[in-house]
């Protein structure tokens, strides 16, 4: 494809302070060709997740640089893409796939990585495949159904409730017959949780005292705490666990950019006193069971019972903004970017 141009964002400098355009550099190059065992995909939808910040972070003194994207290389992401050409026996041109890609028009991949590339089921819209039925949805589904082990009537509290995972998990918890309380960072997010996600209560941690509100809303304690933030919020929730309480550790957004990191958990002794359990959760561990989640959630999505909230940016030029919005608190729901057509296809 010598006449086609591949627009892309490269990592220009390590994160040091504010995250923004200066961390990346725009470049145009030739479209790559797949080698044996590889496919060339055109990216359609890009997904943004807080952990992507680790890819451009500056290692601490004495810490290895393993896993970070080398300066001058394409910023990585997870995307929904269309196979353009294939030298891989598992994929054919025209397949819609979910897997590792770059902030670029075209990506060459062998289908391996932190998450393997797989074909998106027929009839699934690509935005759902990138969000509610992507890693975000898997984490929400198995975090609620399997790690939390819910029982009808229990009290369920979730931080980051209006984010990508939280906006799905809070609704799934409600479907399980739980009393659901969401923690979020703006009036608009709390309003959506009550009206859009239809949960029972919402706390704006910027304008309300979180500890006081948790005590008011959970006078008998918390049965399940689904943690997307870590830090002091986790500490407050652990201190309010009821007997047999469970904590689902999904994310620690309060720590990703903190320098120095905030103090650690102080209320952990309460886990002993209430026979509590705390368990971590990684979406990639459930990829081999994705059809289980698809079969359960796709009918909910199609019927409108499950309402995914998406925050969609338009065009590859907006990619740096997409990642930054996760840390400014500007996004409501799953942060996605819909790719614009490459210049040669306009």
Mean pLDDT of 131-143: 96
CB atoms within 10 A of CB 52: 18
Task: Say whether both 201 and 327 belong to one domain.
Answer: no
| Residue that is last in its domain, among 249, 269, 284 | 284
Task: Say whether both 246 and 139 belong to one domain.
Answer: yes
pLDDT, one tens digit per residue, over 9-30 is: 999 999 877 788 899 999 999 9
**Residue 300 lies inside a defined structural domain of this protein:** no
Range of the domain at 105: 5-131+309-345
The torsion angles phi and psi of 116, rounded to 5 degrees, stand at -70, 155
Task: Say whether both 213 and 274 belong to one domain.
Answer: yes
pLDDT, one tens digit per residue, over 17-69 is: 778 889 999 999 999 999 999 999 999 999 999 989 889 987 766 566 667 89
Task: Say whether both 118 and 144 belong to one domain.
Answer: no
Strand pairing category for 155-158 and 179-184: parallel
> What's the farthest any 2 CA atoms get from each other in the chain?
67
Read off the tokens for 342. 């490459």
Task: Say whether both 191 and 328 belong to one domain.
Answer: no
For position 258, which CATH number holds?
A: 3.40.50.720
The percentage of residues in the chain with a pLDDT greater than 70, rounded to a whole number, is 94
Task: Say whether both 153 and 238 belong to one domain.
Answer: yes
Check: CB of residue 81 under 8 Å from CB of residue 338: no
Chain centroid offset of residue 243 CA: 30
How many structural domains comprise the chain? 2
Helix 135-142, helix 164-175: angle, nearest 10: 40
**Residue 172 lies inside a defined structural domain of this protein:** yes
Task: Say whether both 256 and 328 belong to one domain.
Answer: no
Task: Say whether both 280 and 239 belong to one domain.
Answer: yes
**Residue 298 lies inside a defined structural domain of this protein:** no
pTM as predicted: 0.93
Task: Say whether both 24 and 120 belong to one domain.
Answer: yes
Residue 1: is its pLDDT beyond 60? no
pLDDT of residue 7: 97
**Residue 297 lies inside a defined structural domain of this protein:** no
């Amino acid at each position: 494809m010598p006449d086609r141009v591949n627009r892309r964002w490269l990592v220009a400098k390590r994160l040091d302070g504010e995250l923004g355009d200066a961390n990346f550099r725009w470049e145009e190059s030739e479209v790559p060709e797949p080698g044996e065992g590889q496919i060339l995909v055109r990216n359609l939808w890009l997904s943004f997740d807080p952990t992507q910040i680790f890819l451009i972070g500056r290692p601490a003194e004495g810490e290895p640089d393993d896993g970070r994207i080398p300066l001058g290389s394409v910023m990585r992401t997870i995307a929904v893409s269309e196979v353009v050409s294939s030298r891989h026996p598992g994929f054919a041109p025209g397949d819609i796939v979910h897997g590792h890609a770059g902030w670029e028009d075209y990506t060459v991949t062998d289908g391996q990585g932190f998450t393997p590339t797989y074909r998106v089921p027929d009839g699934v819209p690509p935005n759902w495949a990138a969000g509610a039925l992507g890693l975000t949805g898997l984490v929400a589904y198995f975090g609620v159904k399997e790690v939390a082990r819910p029982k009808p009537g229990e009290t369920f509290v979730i931080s980051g409730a209006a984010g990508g995972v939280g906006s799905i998990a809070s609704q799934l918890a409600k479907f399980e017959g739980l009393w659901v309380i969401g923690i979020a960072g703006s009036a608009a997010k709390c309003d959506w949780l009550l009206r859009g996600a239809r949960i029972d209560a919402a706390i704006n941690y910027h304008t309300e005292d979180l500890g006081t509100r948790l005590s008011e809303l959970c006078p008998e304690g918390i049965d399940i705490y689904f943690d997307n933030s870590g830090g002091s919020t986790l500490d407050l929730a652990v201190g309010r666990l009821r007997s047999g309480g469970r904590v689902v550790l999904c994310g620690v957004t309060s720590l990703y950019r903190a320098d120095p990191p905030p103090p650690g958990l102080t209320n952990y002794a309460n886990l002993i006193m209430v026979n509590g359990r705390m368990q971590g959760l990684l979406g990639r561990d459930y990829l081999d069971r994705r059809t289980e989640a698809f079969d359960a959630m796709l009918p909910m999505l199609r019927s409108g019972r499950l309402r995914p909230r998406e925050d969609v940016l338009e065009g590859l030029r907006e990619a740096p903004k997409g990642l930054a919005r996760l840390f400014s608190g500007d996004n409501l729901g799953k942060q996605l970017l819909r790719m614009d057509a490459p210049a040669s296809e306009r």
